Amino acid sequence: MDMLTLLIAAVTTIGLIVPLPSYAAEVEGNCDDAKTRVVRFLKDAHTGKSMSEEKWLTEEARRAPVFAGFGGLNALVKQSTARAKKYGGLGPITVRSTNRVGEACEVSAEVKFLTNHKDPTNPAVAANEDMVWTFQMSIQRGLWKIAR
């Protein structure tokens, strides 16, 4: 019996056959898990849930000067939660589009609030735009994370 046959027999006998992690196939597959992560991120960000940068952002995104200059994930959560409260709370989050970009997924999702955030009396364009967030998600350490 050669070494490979012996190893397969031993693993099979003692029940240590371990399936590949679910993310292993996702790089080749669709972006469903990336969409789910985006919706969860937006929900948590707008409802004040404390989030770990390591679990949500790629290493590159965490180190980006623009992100750190903004105040990081805690500042984003604080600002997003304040906006949701201002407009009566978080409403539905709808994924608008998903595109494969190499091994990454680009996901756009719209956030709505319980009351309309648009103000027709405000001349600022930003005050009357849809709240659409676009993320590029990539797998890092087994999880879809925000790359940008």
Q: Strand order in 90-101's β-sheet?
A: 90-101, 104-113, 131-140, 143-146
DSSP single-letter state for residue 57: B
pLDDT at residue 67, rounded to an integer: 79
**pLDDT for the residue numbered 19:** 36
Average pLDDT, the chain: 79
What is the Cα Rg of the chain in Å?
21
Residues of the chain with pLDDT under 70: 1-29, 122-128
Q: What integer pLDDT is reported at residue 123 of this predicted model? A: 63
The pLDDT score that the predictor gives to residue 126 is 59
Q: Which two tokens stand for residue 99?
A: 């595109």
Per-position DSSP letters for 6-48, written without gaps between them: HHHHHHHHHT---PPPTHHHHTTS-SHHHHHHHHHHHHHHHTT
